[in-house]
Amino acid sequence: MNKGQRNVQFLVGSKQALINNNEEEMPKGPEIREGKVFIPLRIAIESMGATIRWDAPNHTAAIESFLSPTDAKEQIASIADKTILAIKNKDFTKLSKMSSREQGILFAPYSYIDQKRNIVIPHEKIAEGFDNTKTYLWGTEDGTGDPISMTFESYYKRFVYSKDFASAPKVGYNQTLGLGNSLNNVRMIYPESIVVEYYFNGFDPVYDGMDWKSLRLVFEKEADTWVLVAILHNQWTV
């Protein structure tokens, strides 16, 4: 599969996909059924820089595209660089100025956005940073379903800057780099956004890439300015 500079290769019977000559682990590989090759649709589409919207009433999947990685990078790279450094440096005053005045910032511990459960911190409270000692229910733990009940400081250390994402070896602009079981529904929630993903493809060789992590920053236009509307932590999920 090719789209612009994106090249994705699948091998029947293998969970390894070759995305721009980089091996990525998939939860399920392509299969042959009745003489036809079936590939994992969501991973294939997301790897090409698009997303899938499920139309339940009609039982159809709509493939939605958006700004190309090249165009997205041209528009957002400078803003994204300043934003990830503000997050790294815990400069919450600067982060507040980069955030949406209308929406604040939504925080999701995994790639799936649950608007009923994920916490949104209003624009005016972001500058408080770790001085905000309120305990929030941020969502639930993958696998166990246990509540993620933490202060902002504790959540930040585990589900925001859990690694030095400002130094991540791969950065994707409107590209999905981390491929896991958790549904990536960012386009359903923020259809006109630019998503910047800071990605580590693994840390311990014994896990063969299953311990990858990434941080996704979601930007939308507000009064002709790109502002931060969501911070999505991402990792392999059960």
Residue count (the chain):
238
Point out the domain boundary residue: 48, 64, 80. 64
Of 31-35, 60-64, 66-70, 166-170, least confident by mean pLDDT is: 60-64
CATH of the domain at 196: 3.10.450
> Count of domains in the chain?
2
Together in a domain, 150 and 201 = yes
Give tens-digit pLDDT for 159-190. Answer: 999 999 999 999 999 988 887 666 788 888 99
Domain range enclosing 10? 2-64
Same domain for 108 and 189, yes or no, is yes
pLDDT of residue 147: 94
Pair (90, 56) in one structural domain: no
**Residue 4 above 50 pLDDT?**
no
Residue where a domain terminates, one of 64, 95, 115: 64
| 155 and 197 fall within a common domain | yes
206 and 231 together in one domain: yes
**Does the pLDDT of residue 31 top 70, yes or no?**
yes
Let me know: does 232 contact 218? Beta carbons within 8 Å: yes
Cα–Cα distances in angstroms (integers) from residue 80 to residues 55, 111, 171, 203, 228, in the given order = 32, 18, 10, 24, 9
Residues 45 and 122 in one domain: no
Chain centroid to Cα 27, Å, comes to 17
Given 36, 64, 92, the domain boundary residue is 64
pLDDT digits (tens, 9 = 90+) for 90-144: 999 999 999 999 999 999 999 889 888 899 999 999 999 999 999 999 999 887 8
Average pLDDT over residues 33-50: 67
pTM, 2 dp: 0.74
> What pLDDT sits at residue 156?
97
Same domain, 176 and 194: yes
pLDDT for 2 beyond 60? no
